[in-house]
Structure 1
């Protein structure tokens, strides 16, 4: 199960963040495109991950995606939200109850560090948890201590750390990242998403050998029962590409027991996201 499938429909929404990334700056990346790409690759179902659309479009995106859920293996969506705002979250939670939403995300690495430290943000995050929905945490490696602060302040909220905490693999910045992973893994309500990391390798080095110690550290600290898998398409094209990432994942997890591999492949996602 792919828990991190982006889709891009430029005729409907704005994607300002893609303008400086040639591989993503033009063209659509649709559900039909994804299905053609993954045919025969073993992807049984997907969860759409909000694609960082321009602020004016984030609710429109969730309403549109809701109409796609149930087709081409799409099982649900993780929608964008704005927990920092004083009003509006309750109404958005109510509406999302009818939009096949299985979780929420606010991309934090493009926002000021103080955003998630506000009492308003944390109070609203607890509301998401009270609704029984997970929250994906998307931060840079340097922000992992801030993510740990947030997790400790919201102990009843199921959190999923995206992209293994965005390690700087190209720069070999292992120690500080590993310490941040250790702090989050010590909190039982935090899980981690094995996704996106080939894009953090130096060009041409996104291989099983390069990624091994980083993934092994995540496996050791979180254990197979708190890891989900994500493709991160089409952003994964900046690294290995999706089909290559599927193959690398198989190599990296080959030493696990069958039930452990199955937990990461889909069992944990079914539990965490309720799909």
Structure 2
């Protein structure tokens, strides 16, 4: 069974998504019902919802919306990774509010859509450091040119548990990048970072990707971090750009076919259950 640590639900009738108007084929509703049908067929048993960069004023509304989804009969949703703005003064109060809500499992601030110096700002670092010793994780969604500043953030927050999204966004379409490869190795040397194997089918040739085209990136990430520090995610609906949930699950099984049952279990579900206490 798979634990999906990266589902996005998009409901334009319920919430506001300023970025969607320029998102091409993703500018549509992507509802839980559409995801769950295929997820159950693919053997996905637990899900965390990943924030979808809603309008800042709607961040709490997004958490409430997903909580309602989790209360539906047979829902797979077990919690949320909520949006946040550590660069703002209100983060400390928001953190205290979230710590009292067991449904919130962690936070994400998408850094590749923010100014490149965001992770260097003193207030941002101070606020992320507030997660030290808490149950909250912090997802990192960054591009290779931002690795140096984000690694510095990780180093100044050694007691915060970071999750590196999407194999650190490798530029698969351009071919293996020395910057990406070294960056993944550098992140893996920080023991407070876990890698998320997700999203990669949307970074190569959307129509012609194959298991072999993904293998160097997935294997380098897992090989760098080891089986105790990797988790799996669908990145639905972004994965639909590269064929959808079912092909990505099939590729995951093919990529791990030679691994031991214990290794697959850690990657597929056990690590996620441990990290987020589910």
Scaled to the shorter chain, the TM-score interval is over 0.9
Q: Tell me the TM-score normalized by structure 2.
A: 0.94
From 74, 81, 90, the equivalent of 1:78 is 81
Cross-structure match for 1:22? 24
Q: 1:189-243 CA distances to partner (integer Å, 9 max, x unpaired)? A: 1011000011100232321010111111111100111000000000111123111
Cross-structure match for 2:215? 212
CA–CA distance in structure 2, aligned partners of residues 175 and 70 of structure 1: 45
CA–CA distance in structure 1, aligned partners of residues 148 and 204 of structure 2: 22
Q: Check whether the contact 1:156–1:189 (CA below 8 A) recurs between aligned residues.
A: yes
Cross-structure match for 2:10? 8
CA–CA distance in structure 1, aligned partners of residues 216 and 260 of structure 2: 19
Q: 1:3-54 CA distances to partner (integer Å, 9 max, x unpaired)? A: 000001111111222222332112x212222111223211011000001112
Local SS of the residue matching 2:45? coil
In the TM superposition, 1:168-187 aligns within 5 A as 168-187=171-190
Cross-structure match for 1:127? 130
Number of equivalences: 273
Q: 1:96-130 CA distances to partner (integer Å, 9 max, x unpaired)? A: 22260011100100001111111211111111233
Q: Tell me the TM-score normalized by structure 1.
A: 0.95
Where in structure 2 are there 5+ consecutive unaligned residues?
none
Does residue 92 of structure 2 align to residue 93 of structure 1?
no
Local SS of the residue matching 1:246? helix
Local SS of the residue matching 1:170? helix
CA–CA distance in structure 1, aligned partners of residues 14 and 71 of structure 2: 20
Structure 1 runs, 4 residues or longer, greater than 4 Å off: none
Local SS of the residue matching 1:19? helix
Q: Check whether the contact 1:206–1:240 (CA below 8 A) recurs between aligned residues.
A: no
CA–CA distance in structure 2, aligned partners of residues 76 and 84 of structure 1: 24
CA–CA distance in structure 2, aligned partners of residues 8 and 99 of structure 1: 23
CA–CA distance in structure 1, aligned partners of residues 201 and 79 of structure 2: 25
CA–CA distance in structure 2, aligned partners of residues 132 and 203 of structure 1: 37
